[in-house]
Amino acid sequence: MSWAAFRETTRVEDTAYCLMGLFDVNMPLLYGEEHKAFRRLQEEIIRTTPDRSVFAWSLPLPREPTPQHAMDNAMCGVFAYSPRPFAGCGFINVTPDEEDGPQEFILTHSGVKVQSRDVEERILSNGTVETRYILDLHCIQTTAATAPYSTLPRMAIALRKCGPHQFMRADPFNCVFQSGRWYFDLPGSDTRYLLTNVPDREWEAAQSAPEFTFTMDKALARRSILQIAQPEWADLDQVWPLGYFDKQDQVVFATQHFVKPFAILKLGWRWTGAFARTARSSLMFFALGWASKNIGVAEFSLISTQEYSNILQDPDIELDNHRNGHGVRRMIDYWKIPRVSAAIVDIPGTTDVWLMSFTPTLVSDTSLCQSKFWKIQFHLEKYQKGAVPMSRVVTERWREDDSYEGE
Spatial neighbors of 357 by CB under 8 A, at least 6 apart, are 302, 341, 342, 343, 378, 379, 381, 392
Is pLDDT at 65 greater than 70 in this prediction?
no
- How far is Cα 242 from Cα 252, in angstroms, rounded to an integer? 10
Q: Which residue has the higher pLDDT, 115 or 108?
A: 108
pLDDT tens string 264-323: 898 888 776 555 566 778 889 999 989 888 888 899 999 988 777 665 555 554 555 445
Q: Where are the alpha helices (DSSP H) in 49-171?
A: 68-72
Which is it for the CA torsion 205, 208, 209, 215, positive or negative? negative
DSSP 8-state code for residue 391? G
Checking if the pLDDT of 208 tops 50, the result is no
What is the C-alpha to C-alpha distance for residues 165 and 306, in angstroms, rounded to an integer? 32
The dihedral sign for the CA sequence 388, 390, 391, 395:
positive
CA dist 313 and 26 (Å) reads 55
Mean pLDDT lowest among 167-171, 215-219, 244-248, 296-300: 215-219
Element of type H or E holding 41: helix 36-48
Q: How many residues does the chain have?
A: 407
pLDDT at 204 over 50: no
Nearest Cα to 177, choosing from 214, 140, 129? 140
* pLDDT band, residue 102 (cuts 50/70/90): low
The span from the CA of 196 to the CA of 91, in Å, is 25
Helices marked H in 258-357 — which ranges?
315-321, 325-335
- Enclosing H/E stretch for 162: strand 154-163
Predicted confidence band at 381 (pLDDT cuts at 50, 70, 90)?
Answer: very high
Strand partners, 314: none
Q: Residue 270 region, left (φ>0) first, then alpha (ψ -120 to 50), else beta?
A: beta
pLDDT digits 0-9 by tens, 111-163: 898 876 545 555 555 545 567 788 888 888 876 555 555 567 788 898 888 87
- What pLDDT sits at residue 196? 85
pLDDT at 372: 92
